[in-house]
Amino acid sequence: MKSVFFFLLIIFSGSLGAQSKWNNYLGFYFTGDAQMYYTGLSVQLGSEFHLKHHLSISPYIHYFNNDKGDDSFEVLSAAVLLQWNFGKKKRLYVASGLAFQRAVEEDVFYTDTIDRSIFLPAYRFGHEVPIKGIVLCPEICLTGPYYYYQTTELFTLPSIGFRIYRQKNNIDHLPPNVESVSY
């Protein structure tokens, strides 16, 4: 799955990097599985396109891998979110959308590997902090709920961290909005 992630990383960053209206970002998160048994750092690569001053679309890929001796957990998620910015300066945001998630868990307790590929809801909450030409976004990312057998995972991959992107002036090309403050 690591080779798939790096392939998507190259394709995604190359194709979107040339687009001037997309804000490409890189995110680093503290992530865990639903039971928080596997925890550690994860990485997210995505892009954001402003449809209006307060509305944007944001596709991303998120990769998490954690090994604990004989046990391991690896997740690759791809999602598309619709993000709504609000507040006086339109810096707070909430986003929701659909994610495809592939998770592989190898555990000595189980006799075989648990491998699942699922579609599920995805959410993001955060705040944009502009700092001299870049934007830092501390945020919480969640996917779920997921139901299987007689178990419910409220959130399959809770993550807290930040993403960072270079501020572009593409929002200046949008129709004026009297209530919003420009970025």
Does residue 175 register a pLDDT over 50? no
Report the domain count for the chain: 1
The answer to whether residue 178 is domain-embedded is no
The answer to whether residue 73 is domain-embedded is yes
**CB of 46 within 8 A of CB of 59?**
yes
The answer to whether residue 128 is domain-embedded is yes
The answer to whether residue 179 is domain-embedded is no
For residue 8, CA distances in Å to 39, 45, 60, 89, 165 come to 23, 10, 10, 34, 19
Kindly state the percentage of the chain with pLDDT values over 90.
48
The answer to whether residue 113 is domain-embedded is yes
pLDDT tens digits, 52-92:
889 999 999 999 999 887 788 899 999 999 999 998 888 99
What CATH number has the domain bearing residue 124?
A: 2.40.160.20
| Domain encompassing residue 139 | 2-14+24-173
The answer to whether residue 180 is domain-embedded is no
Global pTM value: 0.78
The answer to whether residue 134 is domain-embedded is yes
Kindly state the percentage of the chain with pLDDT values over 70.
78
**CB of 134 within 8 A of CB of 164?**
yes
The answer to whether residue 182 is domain-embedded is no
